[in-house]
């Protein structure tokens, strides 16, 4: 009996509700991120390339800058903040800068960054979800960091949707993407 109990523990038969919730959190998060990727690619493809520099106001990010800013933030949140890789420098980084990039290049960049972020999260150690980090002077769990990343993506994508409307375009239908 003792050997069966040890074997069951080692095989993971007894799992706490917390572990199950963490696994479900990552599964749900990945589904949301995959759908977010599909939707933002549709948004990026819809805007004509000659409108990629469109800004709602002089101090706003352009459509293209919003798109690549989403990529920069995904890279930073996942690879640097959660993954421990040295952060890219926003001022000197060229991967997520618009300069000399075509619409096709920018869509490829955002697509690749979503794939890298999704892959990172697929392999994320869920026992770390409650670990605390400094997030711009606030203490946040790694779970909260992932939620903040989703909010950030949605925030900038929302601006891109408004830019489509301001250019007379109807955004792709949102139903079932999130």
**Structure-token pair, residue 128:** 């770390």
Strand-pairing partners, residue 134, are 139
What is residue 103's predicted lDDT score, i.e. its pLDDT? 98
Residue 41, beta-bridge partner list = none
The half-sphere exposure of 138 on its side-chain side, counting CA atoms within 13 A, is 8
Q: How confident is the model at residue 3 (pLDDT cuts 50, 70, 90)?
A: low
pLDDT of residue 16: 46
Q: Go through the domains of the chain in sequence order and give each one's CATH number.
A: 19-166 (1.20.120.450)
The answer to whether 119 and 131 are in contact (CB under 8 A) is no
Task: Return the closest-CA partner of residue 25 out of 128, 178, 151, 143.
Answer: 143
Q: What's the predicted TM-score (pTM) here? A: 0.85
DSSP 89: P
Q: Cα(90)–Cα(82) distance, rounded to whole angstroms?
A: 18
Q: What is the pLDDT of residues 63-105, one digit of tens each?
A: 999 999 999 999 999 999 999 889 898 888 899 999 999 999 9
């Amino acid at each position: 009996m003792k050997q069966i109990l040890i074997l069951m523990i080692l095989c993971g038969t007894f799992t706490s509700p917390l572990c199950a919730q963490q696994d479900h959190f990552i599964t749900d998060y990945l589904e949301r991120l995959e759908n977010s990727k599909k939707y933002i690619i549709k948004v990026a493809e819809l805007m004509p390339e000659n409108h990629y520099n469109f800004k709602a106001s002089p101090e706003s990010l352009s459509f293209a800058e919003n798109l690549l800013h989403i990529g920069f933030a995904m890279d930073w949140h996942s690879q640097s903040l959660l993954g421990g890789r040295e952060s890219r420098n926003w001022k000197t980084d060229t991967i997520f800068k618009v300069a000399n990039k075509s619409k096709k290049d920018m869509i490829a960049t955002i697509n690749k960054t979503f794939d890298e972020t999704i892959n990172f999260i697929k392999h994320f150690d869920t026992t770390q979800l409650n670990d605390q980090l400094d997030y711009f002077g606030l203490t946040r769990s790694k779970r909260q960091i992932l939620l903040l990343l989703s909010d950030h993506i949605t925030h900038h994508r929302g601006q891109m949707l408004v830019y489509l409307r301001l250019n007379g375009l109807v955004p792709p239908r949102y139903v079932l993407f999130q």
